[in-house]
Amino acid sequence: MKKPNPILTVLSAASIGFLIGVSFPLRIAPTVVFPFSLGDGNCIVSGRNILARFSTPFGNSTSTAEGTPVLQQSNATSDSETAPLEKTKPKGAERLPPNIVVRESDLHMRRLWGHPREDTPPRKYLLVLTVGYSDRDNVNAMVHKFSDNFDVMLFHYDGRTTEWDEFEWSKQAIHVSARKQAKWWYAKRFMHPSIVAPYEYVFLWDHDLGVETFDAEEYIKIVKKHGLEISQPGLDIVRGVKSFDINVRRNDTEIHTSTSAGKCSTIDVHQRPCSGFVEVMAPVLTREAWSCVWHMIQNDLVHGWGLDWNFWRCVDEPEQQIGVVDAQYVAHHEGFTLGNKDNDTVDGSRRKVRLRSSAEFGMLKARLYNADRAQAAALLAKSNAAPPS
């Protein structure tokens, strides 16, 4: 009996396999199973999905992330259909799958052990103070007026951080050290809205406030009750100083949003600083208001003078949503303290620091004026260019 030709046998088998493949098309994506998983509490990636990023051209992705919806995308999806998905990604994350992108963070410290889901969550509120070690006694008294619902961050202008560990609360605080900088310099660089997003309210306070009569939790109840987006405690001028009449504590109200006292008796009460005004000294802002204020802070204007005159831009109704809380008040002990007070002629003297602060006020005013004009001109041009309805 004649033996079959081996070459013909191979060719015949290949032909039959090809015909079967054409009749029953299947999509095959590579799958590798590993006996482990990786996770961070928000996302669990199993060994089965390790090659998912490489298998995309071969079929639909069915990988999942714990607590995250599955995004299915067909090979036939048009560019116009994927465009909205791409627009949701922040700049820099374009190459990442949407379900892995984390836009926000917080200032809450976490353990280096255990499961991430068992860590304590970020606090509800954030207290931020700019301090030097010589201020420690008053700062310690201030922090004790804030409950465990607050994360605490200290900006150190004197470079001394570890010494604060004499206070137990300091061991759980965030410490940022940069010598001889002002509060708003730190705030612009270390309080991006995406970092403070988890916190309902941000207290950005000076270090020299007397808080003997203050209770932070009661304060928050009041601002929530009255819908204040930006606020400050009233100032006790018996124990401290004031800069503006509107910020002085009243004895007959829970809050107030305007005043006709002092210089405000001779000007329009609806103008700043007679209504809708709190100082840069001790503002309390919702996260939404803070996001707006952060974008208004200028990189090169480190003192923040003039920001308070423009807080109104960051709320819908300044005379209703910006106010002073009289029922919870503090004393501002020292007033202007930046710079060396011993010699007014040297660089870094208190006099020269104050001169720069005043100059920055004028610069911010000019920039906002020019920005308002440019925006108005752009809107007018757009309106003129629109076809008639």
3-state secondary structure 329-348: EEEECCCCCCCECCCCCCCC
In the numeric block, the tokens 């590993």 are attached to 34
Report which of residues 389 and 83 the model is more confident about: 389
CA triple 14-17-23, angle to 5 deg:
145
Query: Which residues fall within 8 angstroms of residue 324, CB to CB, at 6 or more apart?
Result: 231, 232, 233, 234, 246, 247, 249, 255, 256, 257, 278
Most confident of 20-24, 54-58, 118-122, 188-192: 188-192
Q: Which of 43-47, 78-82, 339-343, 378-382 is predicted least confidently?
A: 43-47
% of the chain at pLDDT higher than 70: 74
pLDDT computed for residue 150 by the predictor: 97
pLDDT at 259 over 70: yes
pLDDT computed for residue 343 by the predictor: 62
Domain spanning 118-338: which CATH class is it, in words?
A: alpha beta
- Burial of 140 from C-beta contacts in 10 A (0-12 / 13-18 / 19+): middle
pLDDT computed for residue 267 by the predictor: 82
**Distance from CA of residue 168 to its chain's centroid?**
26
- Averaged pLDDT score across all residues of the chain: 82
Longest dimension (CA), the chain: 123
Residue 280 pLDDT grade (very low, low, confident, very high; cuts 50, 70, 90): very high
Residues 359-373 have pLDDT tens digits of 999 999 999 999 999
Residues 40-79 have pLDDT tens digits of 433 333 333 433 333 333 333 333 344 434 433 444 444 5
